[in-house]
Amino acid sequence: MVLVLLCVIITIINPNFLSFSNFVRISQAAMIPLVLGLGATFIILMGSIDLSVEGGLTLSTVILSMLVLNGANSNDLGLLAVLIVLAVGAGLGLVNGVIHVHLKVPSFMTTLGVWFIGVGAANALLGGMAIRINDPFIRGLAIERFLGFPRGVWLALGCLVVALVIQNYTRLGRYIYALGGGEELAALSGISVARVRIMAFTLAGIFYAIGGILAAAQLGLGNAQIGNGRLFTTVTAVVVGGTALSGGHGSVLQTLVGVLIVVVLSNGMVLMGVPPSVQIGVQGLMIIAAVALSIDRKLMRIVK
């Protein structure tokens, strides 16, 4: 209802909102936040938080730019480079899960550390430089189109379908909901809490790596600043979509709606001529309002 209301208001103020070219712009702006949000949704459904989004995306983008056809070296691994990047993303997620579970470090601190490790490693690899990507497949994700939309948009929708299948038709998806609803009860029911948490963080890392691939395609280069600001957008989209930070409630489809609300609002403010500084403030107010609306205060005696 919020998304539809936004679209109606923006259309009344500027009818160009309904043009096909604007829909393409919205889809291009939404594809990376959607993929990142899918990974974050699984973590938040467990009642945890993952701050390593920017680290995973940045390191994945930098490694991809160095392995595919580029303007800095003679590498040209093609699709093999994509597989390596997905493995790197899964590895970072695995590190998140193992440290969080076996060393009993809160997910907030664990993923915060991995965030800086990822960005630091990306800086060390490039030394502050940027690498231009010339690989036709990677660049094609942003340039080549199918039914008028970039291939990267279709890749993001494919990731949504995969996430839906995992959420609704696999044990991992059901167990993630169970952990968010009550970890102790889930353990008493025979669910391996440690295994589910590690698998969920690993899965999220893969989605962040795909987000890095899309970011590399969209900008046509790899650098250590490419992930800046992605964490805020990701968490905002998930929370605005209605996934509870306490875990157990939400879905990847709600994250899709949350991403569209954030992107449509941003797009609409541009069409209405709202200054960028005001746009940032509006997004901040939006995430506070979304969290406030998603919390059941009757069940909370103490707010920490």
pLDDT above 60 (res 210): yes
Specify the pLDDT at position 256. 94
Mean pLDDT across 60-84: 90
Specify the pLDDT at position 250. 87
- Range of lowest pLDDT (47-51, 64-68, 281-285): 281-285
Specify the pLDDT at position 111. 93
Specify the pLDDT at position 167. 94
Region of residue 293 (left: phi > 0; alpha: psi -120 to 50; beta: else): alpha
pLDDT above 70 (res 260): yes
DSSP the chain: -HHHHHHHHHHHH-GGGGSHHHHHHHHHHHHHHHHHHHHHHHHHHTT-----HHHHHHHHHHHHHHHSSBSSSS---THHHHHHHHHHHHHHHHHHHHHHHHS---HHHHHHHHHHHHHHHHHHHHTT--EEB--HHHHHHHH-EETTEEHHHHHHHHHHHHHHHHHHHSHHHHHHHHHHH-HHHHHHTT--HHHHHHHHHHHHHHHHHHHHHHHHHHHTEE-TTTTTTHHHHHHHHHHHTT--TTSS---HHHHHHHHHHHHHHHHHHHHTT--HHHHHHHHHHHHHHHHHHH--GGG-S---
Specify the pLDDT at position 302. 45
Backbone angles phi, psi at 241, to 5 degrees: -70, -15
Specify the pLDDT at position 203. 96
**pTM (two decimals):** 0.91
153-189 confidence digits (pLDDT tens): 999 999 999 999 999 999 999 999 999 888 788 888 8
Burial 47-83 (b: 16+ CB within 10 A, else e): bbbbbbbbbbbbbbbbbbbbbbbbeeeeeeeeeebbe
Give residue 56's pLDDT band: very low, low, confident or very high (50, 70, 90): very high
pLDDT above 70 (res 296): no
Domain boundaries, the chain: 31-228
- Range of lowest pLDDT (29-38, 97-106, 264-273): 264-273
142-159 confidence digits (pLDDT tens): 899 888 899 999 999 999
